[in-house]
Structure 1
């Protein structure tokens, strides 16, 4: 490409490891297909089966939709990058990809906090659960999660793309993410890094604080249950959510809040690969493999289809 006329970016990705690119293409394609199938199944079941018309599955269907959109905003571009020689992305495409990925990531952070509050109400306030988590409040909390998630990265995206790059177009990454975009700026980005750190602390740790408070109260309530079966049922109900929280927040905190000098560039790429491809695929499995309600919904839907035939 003529560098004087090219205004987009070159995503280097894993181009320094051409043999690994071929393996990654096959693996990520399989992961992406399973991600689409798993999250679409949860969304469909939550809407089709009346027994899943509860706050828990309402928020879970929102979370699955976030995962579906998040991985779709990144993986198709990555597959094209891995499978072909054209590793470019337009300036507008990079802006949109960064904004959408940050918006969906923020939305998922907040939704996970909201889901922890829902579990707190279910376990600690069982007699008042339907009054606390009424449909209007659930819709309001879900809407607030989406609005806050997408309002948060507006300023962040603008500040990153107004940085002068002095003709630098090569991103040492497989998608448009904050750290590699900051690295190609030709001025001091300390102010931007502080702003990103501050926003990350807010968007990550406020939901984490809500989750920790909710589960501290849940543990206290469960320990007061005399029945072992009751304790097991309560912990099983919350176990799936805790597993998803650990995967998502662990990788996000590691990627965004560690000092940039502490890890190699390849480690950063593989961390991003983990929370953009593996986590959205694993989440549906976590929520379905040990969930009797979802298994029962699958059986009811399949039985209804076979009976209608």
Structure 2
């Protein structure tokens, strides 16, 4: 093994009406929209990035939102649950917060190590909030909707559902450099580094699970962190040498990426930590304007007419204080 990941970079899912998506993730979950751009492969729709104040790797959840997208089916060969890290003792606040918004949630796990609140977003995507007994040191986005003392710290983990764990476990350990932390019944936990929140992948083994269908309300892929392009090139070659079908390195403007399917069917991405989301707009203005890569800029007028108009809640871009 030459390269190993330092944890989760982001999760990308497919949503429905973009305004509903924005309202839920900014006002409901309390994340910040750090980039409003388009799907580079289909510029008629958005690619929305949510995270902490600057969109640090490990805090990110991204969406391709298509209005009237058909519902997908959550099942084998997918990341079936996306979990966010919240402070210990905050689950009761979150339960009340979602109830006030008319969103159903339920406490699905309560033990001395983790307390877990489960819910679905407006398109049926399965989400968990995980309050761990191990403090998450990452600073939250202090939004107007969710006070910092309760706020999401970033990704906690991704849950994969596969029919057979052998191939998936091999990729996670031998190709991504993660290690098996625990095995409880049909659930295996793998972690990168010290196994803190944002470094965890849970694998649920269900031989009888129906195959997932990627569409609305499902995860398209999960991405793992790599520090830079040079390491990414080495890693890509390692995967190719081991027989995986890997894409070329693709420019995603705010990072570069490679993609491949692991044996259980889940689409994996390896994404660089750099250059980040502030390369084309100031930190205070992240998410405010539609940003396009240079190769799409000549088509801006057509793209702006094609995408659905959306409104960004004012709390996403607090005004700077004049001195």
Q: TM-score range by the shorter chain?
A: under 0.3
Q: Which has the higher strand share?
A: 2
Flag the structure with larger Rg: 1
> TM-score normalized by structure 1?
0.25
Structure with the largest fraction of helix: 1
